[in-house]
A and B are shown apart, each in its own frame.
Chain A
């Protein structure tokens, strides 16, 4: 069974620090990877997509992909209390369904 694994957390970081969220996936054929942010009681919101090995930066967010290690990460620089949410990692193998991880709860302490 194809799986995406994440530490459930909570991951607590002080305001202004770097938050590092990690994700591993089992399907070596996965081609696309996505990070979603989900505030409590709300629906998931796409924040980053990454398709190639290496880093992809968007504002305070950096996604990192290592297909050889089947590992995806999300770094949040200068973390703010408004970043406190659950972060979902998803992997997609074209022609099959998205596989979502259980999410990591991030708490940014003021």
Chain B
């Protein structure tokens, strides 16, 4: 069966510091991968998605970036965090054929001080 791992679970960072969140998927090949952010009490905001290694599409211009160095690895990064980057970051994967849902990791709660 497929599993998705996301870490760390919680992160507290000062403004201006760098960020690296990692997500890996097991049990499937060539998944579509997604990064979402969810502010407290709000809906899901799609940040990036990837359909293959090195292929990244950005939905929202901001100081975040994403990379997919391996088929089942998706990384969210920032060189300098802003206060507004606080939130709940979720990685998700889906199959590439039609009608397949997204499955989410446990998320990372990021607090910027």
Residues of A participating in the B interface, judged by any CB pair closer than 8 Å: 31-32, 34, 36, 41-46, 49, 51, 88, 90, 92, 94, 97-98, 100-103
Q: Are A46 and B42 in contact (CB under 8 A)?
A: no
Whether A44 touches B90, Cβ cut-off 8 Å, given contacts A88-B44, A103-B43, is yes
The one of B99, B103, B105 that contacts A32, using a Cβ cutoff of 8 Å: B99
A94 to B102, CA, bound (A): 13
A43 to B5, CA, bound (A): 12
In the A-B complex, the 7 residue pairs with the closest CB atoms: A102-B43, A43-B104, A94-B98, A43-B107, A100-B44, A32-B99, A34-B101
- In this complex, the interface size class of chain B, counting residues with CB under 8 Å from chain A, is 20 to 34
- Chain B residues numbered 97-113 whose CB sits less than 8 Å from any CB in chain A: 98-107, 109
Report B88 CB to chain A, min CB distance, Å: 8
A94 to B42, CA, bound (A): 25
How many A-B pairs have beta carbons closer than 8 Å: the answer is 48
Q: Are A44 and B104 in contact (CB under 8 A)?
A: yes
Q: Is B46 an interface residue (CB 8 A)?
A: yes
The one of A34, A41, A45, A102 that contacts B42, using a Cβ cutoff of 8 Å: A102
Q: Is B35 an interface residue (CB 8 A)?
A: no
A contact residues around B42 at 8 Å (CB): 102
Q: Are B99 and A43 in contact (CB under 8 A)?
A: no
Q: Are A97 and B46 in contact (CB under 8 A)?
A: yes
- CB-defined interface of B21-55 with A at 8 Å, one 1/0 digit per residue? 00000000000001000000011101001000000
